Homo-oligomer: A and B are copies of this chain.
Amino acid sequence: MAALSLLSLLLLLLLPLSLLLLLSLIVRPRTVKIPLKNRHVLVTGGSSGIGLAIARRAAAEGARVSILARSQAKLEEARQAIRLATGIDAATFSADVRDFDAVRRAAEEAGPVDVLVVNQGVFVPEELAKQELDEVRFMIDVNLIGSFNMIKAFLPAMKARTDRRPASIALMSSQAGQVGIYGYTAYCASKFGLRGLAEALQQEIITDGIHVSLVFPPDTDTPGLAEENKRRPPLTSIIAGSSGAMKADEVAEKTLSGIKSGSFIVPCNFEGHLLAIATAGLSPQRSYIMAFVEVVGVGILRLAGLFFQWNWYSSIEKWHAQSKQ
C-alpha cells in the first residue's frame, strides 16, 4: 500500500517535471538579456505620463535617452525634469507620429537606436454608437499607424547597427489590449492591433537580434487618464475598475525590466499576470518557467475569465434595467 502511494506520488512529481524539462527545450525564441547602460533609448510620448517615467528611469540607469513628442514646450519641461532627477541631458525631438516624413527626419537626427519604446497613445472612451468617427480614426492613427510609422523609420538603422548586442522594440499596449471593454471599441482595436503587429514582427526581426516587447499596464495615473475619466461612460468605469490603477513610475519599472529580460509579454501588476496567462494564446514565451505556469494555469484562468464575463454582462444588464426606470 505504502509502495503504491509512493509510486503514485513519484509519478505525480514526474509529470510536471517532465513538462518543465520539455518546455525548457522547446521555448522559442530563446531567452536573451538586453543591456540598457550606455545604449540609446528613444521613447515616444516621452514628454509626459508613462513615457516620461520610462525616460527618467532609463536615464537613471545610465542609458542615453531621447524623447519624442509633439509639443516643443512639453519636451523642454520634460528634459528639465529628467535633468533635475538624474543629471542626465535627454535629447528631444518634436514630431507627430502620424506624419511619417517627420518621423523619418527624427530618426535621421536621432541616429541609431538600441531600444525603441513606442509608447505614444491616445484614448477617448465612448460607446461606438455615440462616438464620432473622427475620434475612432484618431485613436487608430496615433496608436496603431503611428507605431507602424515609428518602426518603419527606425528599423533600418537597428538592423544595420554595428553594436551587435541584442536590441529591443517595445510597444506600449494596455490591459484593454488583452480584453475588450465597454466604451473602448477603437482603443481596444488599436491595442489588440499592436499585438498582431508584435507577434508577426518578432518573427521577421528575430534574425537581426531585435526583440519585441508588448507592455500591458492597467489604468495608470497620468494626465491622460485624468482627461479620460472626465468623459468615461459609467459602465466603462464599472468594468475597467476590475483592475487596480498604477503609478506611471511603477509601469516604467516593469517596462524596463521586461525590455531587459527580452520578455515578449510584459504584464505590470498581479491582475495583469493573470490576464497574460489567460490570453497567452499563440504568443512566444521565452521563459520556460512562465511557459510552465501558462500551460498549467491557463485552464483555471479561462474559468476566471468566464466569471469576469458573467460579472460584466450582469452589470450591463442591471445598469440597463435601472436606467429604463
Q: Which residues of A contact B (CB under 8 A)?
A: 19, 23, 26-29, 100, 127-129, 133, 136-137, 140, 144-145, 148-149, 151-152, 155-156, 159, 176-207, 235, 239, 275, 278-282, 284-285, 291, 294-303, 305-310, 312-314, 316-317, 320
Contact A185 B197 (CB under 8 A): yes
Do A306 and B281 form a contact, CB below 8 Å, given A192-B195, A196-B180, A320-B207? Answer: no
> What is the bound-complex CA distance between A46 and B257, given in angstroms?
48
CA distance A310 to B278 in the complex (A): 20
A200: B residues at CB distance < 8 A: 128, 180-185, 188-189
Q: Inside 8 A of A184's CB, which chain B residues have their CB? A: 196, 200
Copies in the complex: 2
A142 → chain B, closest Cβ, in Å? 12
Question: Are A316's CB and B203's CB within 8 A?
Answer: yes
Query: A308 vs B285: C-alpha distance in the bound complex, in angstroms?
Result: 11
Per a CB cutoff under 8 Å, which of B199, B206, B302 touches A294?
B302
Query: If A192-B193, A204-B185 touch, does A305 touch B280 (CB 8 Å cutoff)?
Result: yes
Closest B residue to A285 using CB positions: B306
A139 → chain B, closest Cβ, in Å? 10
CB distance from A29 to the nearest CB of B (A): 5
Q: Which residue of B lies closest to A308 (CB)?
A: B282
Question: Which chain B residue lies CB-closest to A177?
Answer: B196
The answer to whether residues A140 and B145 also contact, given A278-B282, A282-B308, A306-B23 and a CB cut-off of 8 A, is yes
A306 to B149, CA, bound (A): 30
A280 and B199 alpha carbons, distance in the complex (Å): 17
Give A158 Cβ to nearest chain B Cβ, in Å. 10
The one of B193, B295, B306 in contact with A303, judged by C-beta atoms closer than 8 angstroms, is B295
Tell me whether A317 and B207 are in contact (CB under 8 A).
yes
Q: With both chains docked as a complex, state the minimum distance between the C-beta of A324 and any C-beta of chain B, in angstroms.
A: 10
A136–B128 CB distance below 8 A: no
Which of A27, A128, A189, A317 has most chain B Cβ within 10 Å? A189
Contact check, B140 vs A144: say whether CB atoms are below 8 A apart.
Answer: yes
The 9 closest A-B pairs by CB, nearest first: A180-B199, A192-B196, A188-B196, A179-B282, A193-B193, A28-B313, A180-B200, A279-B281, A189-B193
Q: Is the CB of B309 within 8 A of A299?
A: no
